[in-house]
Structures are given as structure tokens and as C-alpha cells.
Amino acid sequence: MSRKLGPVETPEYGAMVRRMVRAYGKRVGNADDVDLGQMLALRDEVEDAIATAVTLQREQWGRSWAEIGRGLGITRQAAQQRYGRTTQIEEEQAS
């Protein structure tokens, strides 16, 4: 069960970022081939941001893997397999 945590404008913010990424794709499509590498770097940043969000959802809000999986549109097992290792590594680094 998802919990509302207060007035966080994540849907609007996410929509803005998606528009920016689409526009960036069009710009890179009309630019030099080396700019494609910058798009790959952006993809890596997005993956890192998702991992950070999962970690915060787990640590600060106590979300279960089932809730995380539902939010990501995958099973709880898939969520734990993909992002559980990231959480474990961050816990080891904090020690």
C-alpha cells in the first residue's frame, strides 16, 4: 500500500524531465556522432538516480520490495535482484 507523504510535485517534475530528455534526443539527433556518448552518460545517471530513489524509499520510508516492485512495474523479486545489491553495497560503505 502506498502512503502519501505530503505535497511533493514528483509527477510534474518527472513530466518536465521527460520533455527535456525527448528534446535532448532530437538535438543530439541533429548533432555530431560523439554527442551520442553524452546520451549514454545520461542513461547511466538515470539508472543511478533510480537506485538512489529505491534506497531512500527502503531506508527512510520503510517500503517493502513488493511496494518498490509495484512502483517500478516489476515483481518484488525482480526489484530486489536488481536493486537489493545496490542497497547492500551502500550499507557496507556506510559501516
Cα–Cα dist 95/75, whole Å = 30
Please give the pLDDT value at position 4. 58
- Left (φ > 0), alpha (ψ -120 to 50) or beta: where does 6 sit? left
Identify the band that residue 1 occupies on the pLDDT scale cut at 50, 70 and 90.
very low
Q: Of 55 and 86, which is predicted with more confidence?
A: 55
Cα–Cα dist 39/32, whole Å = 12
3-state class of 93 per DSSP?
A: helix
* Domain residue extents for the chain: 10-94
Angle at alpha carbon of residue 43, lines to 3 and 67, rounded to 5°: 20
Q: Of 46 and 91, which is predicted with more confidence?
A: 46
pLDDT digits (tens, 9 = 90+) for 21-74: 999 999 999 999 999 999 999 999 999 999 999 999 999 999 999 999 999 999
Residue 63 burial (CB count, 10 A): 19
